[in-house]
A and B are shown apart, each in its own frame.
Chain A
């Protein structure tokens, strides 16, 4: 019996979701913004958040003779976050300052119970956010369902966008959602009159909505990028790579969009991933610069109402493989950032276990999952938006939200 039924009952009893959560930012959730960053390829969380004390540290080092991040104080060593955990040194200039300002938190042992260890399968299942034991509905991603719920209540309007050249599964569904990749924004070739004629051709087709939305977003992005060009011509620094995209995302989310998604690839490190420096370190550095740039570009006021969650489909093997890399694993570490994190800011939160010997590993191989992603996101959404149980149940059917007091 059924958690789902119980939630439905509760929903009837308390339609406004009384005790479920609180609004993140007074006076209303209207200013709240959420960005989900998906690291595709299953990044090696064991080198992001490094055990630095006692038996856990010893076990980590012995499992990774070629790729362990050095201890704090050693060259390219981990940056201590608390007594147990150290941060990868490539994030010294970007993520660490946010953590110290209590604007970043980490959730280790996070992930999905999907055990296929397939990138594609697991990315899909996470983006869909549906129960694993039922059939899949590929037309319903969890951010899209969230948009549907928000549009009907706590927000007066919701404007979701994926900053990707294809609309990802997580954003597909009934609610309208835009997409546009920001790395390479060109000049406009189709003028206003042509846009109208083309939109009219599609008016009675299944593609009417994306066509119309595409023209609207294009106009918005071009305006924003033009402002960036003007600034750059006055000798402002121009960012590159993911940081450029992240700063553009921040300007668009500050002004027009409140629910965002972006993905970053290149995390599938089967070979030669490096330790304190090397391939993975470079990826961390670039990502860190991006999220720090996003926070800065947002500006203090908007950043206070913003939450960024960085996720990945799963973690990697705890032990290094034969090629100084890592293979597909299970649990991972999620990052939560925002200007208005509550007690979680500057902490490593969620249920944890010390990995001190092989028996502590999941299937003698991986990080176990102790903080299931749907429960974690459910708890976050409840707090951010004050969602009712019924609304939460619409987003993540049958899941009890886990309140980590993130905001």
Chain B
């Protein structure tokens, strides 16, 4: 590609090794992307910084340099069609060491099940208690690893948009580690059901969530069987995942879909194990794929009508027919387009923009990247920059990216703690609606005070992120060099006079950092 010979890369060679590595990764990512025609061009450095604040998890110096180097359209093209791109070695090493990275889900689930059974079987009460505690701790550790891995990617992945969309869909298809043993499943759910499809086809994403044991357990479908209906998943599938409430379904549709979903569940049987004993005429309909199981003996074989039309397939194929119908419904296109616009543009997004995104969704058969392209190219998107309130996860990740750039955090504990304090604990929203995406939910009195405390914790004591164990002494100085970072300097002219006055009253660099991170401008993206 002509790109390889661009002066920016040639000049970079000796001192910008990291940058070159990332640009090479970007080039790989660009290789199959058609010549970019994206009509996106922030006007100046300040506008570009705001743009990056929105498209990425928050502007940092490295990404700002890359965008400047390859140009916004090409950078965005690579973001929309991501290819595997390496994390910084120190971040990847942390991920590689995790149990969720080393152990396939089937094996992990069986090991934990064995551990649970062994604990329950102990006769001695004290030993049983200790063994049960160990089991719970193992589950906690797995959920913790998923949180850590998510944060490492949000902070350092070259595929920033994919990392953001992964969060968006994890929230849209919410499951909660507060239920049963979902702590063991949530990491794999994100890795195999959500992330690969985060910018792909909505129908694929929907199908992947339906086949994952995390979702089947969370919304109780693993227990849904013929004549023992459990409506929970069927209802949320239409209300929250596809059509949206008011999307044209009735209580009868909820029950019909629940019947379609009977027999769709989870099995911990070994891979080579024989299927359960079934009547001969049912045996061909049995399906098992990893932990996913369709058991025709539990399935309601009767005729069904969903959304005004009969279900023509039988057995597991009914599920695909139902999902096709839901994914292609105009109500779904509108519901998803609107939610994406709420997340990326405004709490009450411009209706005309939502209409255009919805039209793209329908025209492209649910191509998420295409819908986002319509949005990024819109004047409404540009006009909204800097005006979307950061939710707690965006606030914490964006602040750490701004404060420390590509320097890899050694301990995720402080960030996890800050996010918890603001009430947006990763993977722990109990109800299937996911965390709210609007300012009203995150800008209340109590929230703001907590946020300022966190601004101070990071601004004055950010070095807590870089010590391996929390007894070790902090490096000096213990605060980040915020005022010296390029993105901060780029943004200074856009600050209000009230914010500049506050910064001028800072008595120490810690104070300056605290006020900056507490400022109205930094609390928006």
Contact = CB atoms under 8 A, between A and B. Distances in A.
A328 B235 contact: yes
B353 interface: no
A201 B445 contact: no
B231 A327 contact: yes
B444 A198 contact: no
Given A138-B440, A214-B449, A271-B220, A198 B515 contact: yes
B345 interface: no
Given A180-B445, A207-B448, 10 more contacts: A40-B431, A139-B440, A189-B456, A194-B452, A197-B502, A198-B515, A210-B445, A210-B448, A322-B223, A328-B235
Interface in A168-194: 172, 177-181, 184, 186, 188-190, 194
Nearest to B499: A201
Given A167-B445, A198-B518, A205-B520, A323 B501 contact: no
A207 B246 CA distance: 32
Nearest to A365: B251
Contacts of A265: 430-431
A365 to B, nearest CB: 9
5 contacts: A167-B446, A179-B445, A197-B502, A322-B223, A322-B225
Nearest to B519: A201
Interface stretch (A116-124, A247-255, A287-295): A116-124
Given A117-B235, A266-B430, A322-B230, A166 B442 contact: yes
Interface string B206-250: 000000000000001001110111111001000110000110000
A180 B453 contact: no
B511 A194 contact: yes
B431 A268 contact: yes
B441 interface: yes
Given A270-B230, A321-B228, A322-B230, A166 B520 contact: no
Interface of B: 220, 223-225, 227-232, 235, 239-240, 245-246, 251, 254, 421-423, 430-431, 433, 436, 440-450, 452-453, 456-457, 496, 498-499, 501-502, 505, 511, 514-515, 518-520, 523
B419 to A, nearest CB: 12
B431 A270 contact: no
A296 interface: no
A73 B286 CA distance: 49
A178 B447 CA distance: 10
Contact of A322 (B227, B254, B448, B514): B227
Contacts of A166: 423, 436, 441-442, 444, 446-447
A198 B452 contact: yes
A59 interface: no
A200 interface: yes
B510 to A, nearest CB: 10
A210 B456 contact: no
A218 B445 CA distance: 9
Contacts of B436: 166
B431 A120 contact: yes
A49 B251 CA distance: 26
Nearest to B227: A322
A268 B220 CA distance: 11
Question: Lowest 4 A-B CB distances belong to which pairs?
Answer: A322-B228, A167-B444, A214-B445, A214-B449
A215 interface: yes
Contacts of A117: 235, 251, 254
Nearest to B389: A207
Contact of A189 (B246, B423, B447, B453): B453
A197 B505 contact: yes
A268 B453 CA distance: 34
Contacts of B227: 322
A354 B463 CA distance: 66
B386 to A, nearest CB: 13
A138 B520 CA distance: 23
B263 to A, nearest CB: 12
Nearest to A317: B231
A interface bracket (residues with beta carbon within 8 Å of B) = 35 or more
Nearest to A363: B251
Nearest to B506: A197
B457 A189 contact: yes
A200 B498 contact: yes
A210 B441 CA distance: 12
A127 to B, nearest CB: 12
Interface in A279-304: none
A165 B452 contact: no
A378 interface: no
B220 A323 contact: yes
A211 B515 CA distance: 14
A303 B455 CA distance: 40
B452 A186 contact: no
Given A167-B445, A214-B449, A181 B235 contact: no
A325 interface: yes
B443 A179 contact: no
Given A117-B251, A207-B443, A270-B232, A215 B498 contact: no
A194 to B, nearest CB: 6
B427 to A, nearest CB: 16
Contacts of B246: 116
Nearest to A138: B440
A203 interface: yes
Contacts of A207: 443, 448, 520, 523
A166 B424 CA distance: 10
Contacts of B230: 270-271, 321-323, 325, 327
Contacts of A162: 444
B232 to A, nearest CB: 5
A165 B446 contact: yes
A231 B446 CA distance: 25
B83 to A, nearest CB: 37
Nearest to A187: B453
Contact of A200 (B431, B443, B502): B502
Contact of B498 (A165, A201, A213, A323): A201
A165 B441 CA distance: 9
A215 B449 contact: yes
A265 to B, nearest CB: 6
Contact of A202 (B229, B440, B444, B520): B520
B229 A321 contact: yes
Interface string A30-64: 00000000001100000000000000000000000
Contacts of A200: 498, 501-502
A184 B450 CA distance: 11
A118 B235 contact: yes
B251 A201 contact: no
Contacts of A218: 449
Interface in A323-381: 323, 325, 327-328, 363
A318 to B, nearest CB: 14
A167 B223 CA distance: 35
A361 to B, nearest CB: 14
A210 B251 contact: no
A217 B445 contact: yes
A190 B446 contact: no
Given A179-B445, A198-B515, A323-B223, A165 B430 contact: no
A323 B258 CA distance: 14
A328 B234 CA distance: 12
B289 to A, nearest CB: 24
Nearest to A122: B245
Contacts of A137: none
Contacts of A172: 440
A23 to B, nearest CB: 30
A218 B220 CA distance: 40
